[in-house]
Structure 1
C-alpha cells in the first residue's frame, strides 16, 4: 500500500466510524457509510494520521429484503475464526412496521425536532469476506439478524467466555419510545440468530437522567445507539453506547457507558458516566500496534460536517473507561 495521495480525518465525512487494527499487514481500516452512494467504504492508514481511500467494500445486492437505494448505517468489521465479518444496518423505508399501540389506539413517536416518526423495516445484516477490503457477501438475503418485526440498528459482535457469539443491538426509540439495548445469540457461522432476544436495559436508565425529576416535560424519546462491548481486566463487561443529553430545549449526542460487573451479558447492567460529550458519540474501541487503547467516534451529529475523532483511553474498573488524551493531533 502506498500513501502518495492521502487525507487526514478532518478531510472526509465519517459517520459511525469503526476502526479495525489488522495485525498481519499492520494497517488500520476505518469503515463508514458514504454520503454519496448506498455503499460501505473503507479508508486505510499505517499511522492513524494519513489515510488512503475511500474504497467500496460492500454494495447492497439486488433481490434482498433491503432497499438498495438506502445507505447502510454503522458498518463494523470483526475478525472471527479466520474470516472477516461485516455488520451493517440496512433499511426499507417503504415497508411499514406496526405502529405502537396501547391496545385501543395507536401511538406516534415524536422526536425533539417535532417530526412524527413511524416504524419502518430496519435491521442489521452480516456479510463475510476473506480480507478486510472485502468485497463482503451477505450470509442471509432473507431478513435481518434480529426479529424482522423489530425496528433495530447498530448490531455489533460479542463473543462470550464459552465461545458463544452474540449480536448486541439497539431497538429503535421510534418503535418503543424508550429505546433499548438487546442481545441475541448467533449460530456458529454467524449466519442467523438462535433463540429469542434478551433485554439488557432501556435508554431512560442512562445515569445522567437521574439528575432530572420525572414529569410531563421529561425528555422523551430515549435514544439508544451504537453498543460495543469490552471485557475489562478485572472481569467486568463494559458496554459503550450513545444517546442524547438534553438541557432545556437543547440536546447533544453523547457517548456513555454501562457495566455488567459480574461479567455476564445478561447483566445486571449498571449505568456509568458520560465518557465524551459535545455532540459526539457512536464510539468504538481498538488497540494500536503500539498497545494504546483508542476510542474512535464521530463529532457533529446531525450536521453536514461529521468527522471521526480519536481519544486515548484507559480502563478503570470502577468508572469503566477514562479519557487520558484527546488525539486531535491526528485529526488535521
Structure 2
C-alpha cells in the first residue's frame, strides 16, 4: 500500500471499497472545490506498516471507489504524546480558510493517578489540534506541550463547534475510566484554535440516556457508562443536536441528543438511538447532491471494524435513519 502525502500525484492509484478498508471512527469531508470526498481514519503500525501512529485519508468521487490510503499526519517527536500509543477519532474541519485536524493522542507512560487513589489507572489522554492549508495535509500540531483539554483529565473524541456568536469550542468526552459515568463537556477555544480560552463546562452524562438505564441490572461490578463520539449539528429549523455513542447489552450504539434551549449549554434531552447492533461513533455529512448521510463503524472491534453509510432524513428537530446503503458497503 502507498503511504505518501495525499497531494503527491506520483502516488499510484489503489482503489478500494469500504469493505476492504479497516476503519474506526470514520470521518468524511465533502470538498466541493474538488468534488472529492475525503475519508479520514486512524493509522496504526500494526495494520499499516507505518513506523508510528498517524492519520490516513482515502479519496472518492462517488462514495463507492476509494483511492489511497495516504498519510496526512504522524505523531511527531518532542511532544506530549507518545508516537506509538495511538491516534484516535481523527476529524477535519474547515475554519477561517484553513483545515484543522482534531485527533485524540495518548501517553500511557505519564500516569495521572493509580489505585487505591482512584478505581482505575489514569494516564494522559486528550485531543490535540493540527492545521494545514488543504484537507490533504500535511497537518502540523498547534500545541506540542499538552492536549487542548486539561492535562489532568482523561478525555477523547474532541470535535469543533462554532456557536451562534461565532465563538469556537471543543466539545469532548470525559473518559469513563476516570469519572466512571462518562460525560460530555465543552471548552472554549482561542480564535486561532491554538489553545483553550477558558474552563470546561459540563453538558450531560452518559447515564442520562433512559435506554441505557432500562437495561441495567444490579451487580457487584462498577456501573460504568461510556461516552464516545460527539458531533454537533443544527437542523433546518435551528435545533441543536448531538450525535454520540455508548453501549447497551448488544454492544455499541449510535444515538442522538437535542438541546432544549438550542444552545450548547442545554439542557440536553436524550432521543431514541439511531443505529444499534454494535455500531457507532458516527458523523453526518452532505453529498454533493445535498443529501444527508451518516457514516459510522461496525463492529466495534479492530481490525474487523468497517465504515458503514446510511441515508438520513432531516426533520424540523432531529435526524432519523432512512436505510443502510448496502450498495456502498460491498
When normalised by structure 2's length, the TM-score is 0.91
Q: Which segments of structure 1 move beyond 3 Å, counting only runs of 4 or more?
A: 1-5, 212-219
Output the aligned Cα RMSD.
1.8
Counterpart-to-counterpart distance in 2, 1:218 and 1:230: 36
Question: Which residue of structure 2 aligns with residue 291 of structure 1?
Answer: 290
Shift of 1:170: 0.4
Secondary structure in 2 aligned to 1:194?
A: coil
Counterpart-to-counterpart distance in 1, 2:163 and 2:114: 34
Q: How many residues get paired?
A: 315
CA separation of 1:317 and 1:216: change in aligned 2, threshold 3 A: farther
- Superposition map of 1:1-332 within 5 A: 5-34=14-43, 35-36=47-48, 37=50, 38-99=53-114, 106-109=117-120, 118-212=121-215, 215-216=218-219, 220-246=223-249, 251-318=250-317, 320-332=318-330
Secondary structure in 2 aligned to 1:97?
A: strand
Secondary structure in 1 aligned to 2:184?
A: strand
Question: Which residue of structure 2 aligns with residue 114 of structure 1?
Answer: none
Counterpart-to-counterpart distance in 2, 1:213 and 1:61: 43
Counterpart-to-counterpart distance in 2, 1:315 and 1:217: 42
Question: Which residue of structure 2 aligns with residue 112 of structure 1?
Answer: none
Describe the superposition over 1:55-76 as per-residue Cα deviations: whole angstroms up to 9, x where unpaired. 0000111100000122200000
Describe the superposition over 1:268-322 as per-residue Cα deviations: whole angstroms up to 9, x where unpaired. 000111100110100011100001001000001024311001001012345x221
Counterpart-to-counterpart distance in 1, 2:30 and 2:21: 20
Question: Which residue of structure 1 aligns with residue 6 of structure 2?
Answer: none
Contact 1:99 1:175 in 2 (8 A): no
Counterpart-to-counterpart distance in 2, 1:304 and 1:45: 22
Gaps of 5+ in 1: 110-117
Secondary structure in 2 aligned to 1:329?
A: helix
Contact 2:215 2:248 in 1 (8 A): no
Counterpart-to-counterpart distance in 2, 1:328 and 1:148: 42
